[in-house]
Amino acid sequence: CLLKEEKEPITVLVTGAAGQIGYALVPMIARGAMLGPNQPVILHMLDIEPAAEALKGVKMELIDAAFPLLRGVVATTDVVEACKDVNVAVMVGGFPRKEGMERKDVMSKNVSIYKAQASALEKHAAADCKVLVVANPANTNALILKEFAPSIPEKNITCLTRLDHNRALGQISERLNVHVSDVKNVIIWGNHSSTQYPDVNHATITVSNAEKPVRELVNDDTWLNNEFIATVQQRGAAIIKARKLSSALSAASAACDHIRDWILGTPKETWVSMGVYSDGSYGIQAGLIYSFPVTCEKGDWTIVQGLKIDEFSRDKMDKTAQELIEEKTLAKSCLE
Ligand code: NAD
Ligand code: LMR
């Protein structure tokens, strides 16, 4: 038979789809950047009533773009319709941080959304639905979602720190003037906030087919232990300052990277950073949604074990864990 067998479409939910990340993200998904170039997709887009007209406009543009992989588009303000049978849920809906706002300021607005949407996902999504929370505070929103959707396996609920991971790769690549694809195995530990710890102690660069430690090639521990870390930690705020809007295209691209690697697997001998529930690895309180180095295979992530942690790293990993413990308490008080 000469007919090519077509794969079953995968249904992807994007919440907050009329917003700026949504606008950058849905065409990437429809082009195959998230699930691969041969994987048909159905897009479910959710937003709230005030954004309903804008959402309709996004749907019109998706139709006008005539994406070959796009097998259906639902644009709705009904959370039940949006969650129905979704295989992948990318939770972008919420209020972004504006200039001068701390991440804690967006907490009360956003955690209550995640509590409400947890039950819709639990009741209506596909049983093995994989969830990626992008909206801030991303780790704590994911934690709230996990607590209010107890029947979704905890391994299926993650948050986005891949943007920070990619930012770290980008900074090293700029510093050494090497291709970003030759830099690998940086780690983002902890919270998607300014307490995150971008760690290069295990990172390498491929030079003439050999892997060399980033520390050796950069050869400037003062820069790596100070400016580099601060730049990655503060990059979100720097983008807000420059654009008067928070990052969107890089966030959308990172969301595609996160889901692609989770479902299709990480490249050989390469790890990525994902916010996942802690099982106590590296002494991080179990049950927090904390960013770890992970490898992925056949749709499952595994925390990379056995990395040597020095005193400098230990202190930074604990500080960002402490912030997540405080966010958890604050989130719970917002929900009371
Ligand atoms: P935006 O304001 O442009 O879009 C957010 C959209 O969410 C809006 O269209 C809004 O109407 C919608 N929305 C609000 N409440 C909703 C609800 N209950 N259900 C569905 N939709 C709802 O914001 P943006 O720039 O696209 O950013 C979205 C979120 O992502 C923000 O919280 C931002 O801080 C966060 N963010 C996270 C990362 C990361 O790396 N984790 C990076 C960038 C931005
Ligand atoms: C980012 O990292 O760009 C976003 O999370 C925006 C922010 O509030 O920092």
Tell me what pLDDT residue 36 has: 97
Tell me the catalytic residues.
192
Atom 4 in ligand 2: residue holding the nearest Cα = 236
- Mutation probe of ligand 1 site: the residue of 21, 55, 83 with most atoms within 8 A of C-beta: 21
Its pTM stands at: 0.97
* Residue 215 alpha carbon to ligand 2 centre in Å: 27
Tell me what pLDDT residue 99 has: 75
ipTM above 0.95, yes or no: yes
Spell out the per-residue pLDDT of the chain, length 336, in tens. 566 678 999 999 999 999 999 999 999 999 999 999 999 999 999 999 999 999 999 999 999 999 999 999 999 999 999 999 999 999 999 887 777 776 677 888 788 899 989 999 999 999 999 999 999 999 999 999 999 999 999 999 999 999 999 999 999 999 999 999 999 999 999 999 999 999 999 999 999 999 999 999 999 999 999 999 999 999 999 999 999 999 999 999 999 999 999 999 999 999 999 999 999 999 999 999 999 999 999 999 999 999 999 999 999 999 999 999 999 999 988 888
Query: SS3 sequence, the chain?
Result: CCCCCCCCCEEEEEECCCCHHHHHHHHHHHCCCCCCCCCCEEEEEECCHHHHHHHHHHHHHHHHCCCCCEEEEEEECCHHHHHCCCCEEEECCCCCCCCCCCHHHHHHHHHHHHHHHHHHHHHHCCCCCEEEECCCCHHHHHHHHHHCCCCCCHHHEEECCHHHHHHHHHHHHHHHCCCHHHEECCEEEECCCCCCEEECCCCEEEECCEEEEHHHHHCCHHHHHHHHHHHHHCHHHHHHHHHCCCCCHHHHHHHHHHHHHHHHCCCCCCCEEEEEECCCHHHCCCCCEEEEEEEEECCEEEECCCCCCCHHHHHHHHHHHHHHHHHHHHHHHHHC
* Residue 239 alpha carbon to ligand 2 centre in Å: 8
* Residue 102 alpha carbon to ligand 2 centre in Å: 10
In ligand 2, the atom with minimum distance to the C-alpha of 239 is 3
Could you tell me if the CB of 214 is within 6 A of ligand 1? Answer: no
Could you tell me if the CB of 204 is within 6 A of ligand 1? Answer: no
Could you tell me if the CB of 142 is within 6 A of ligand 1? Answer: no
Could you tell me if the CB of 275 is within 6 A of ligand 1? Answer: no
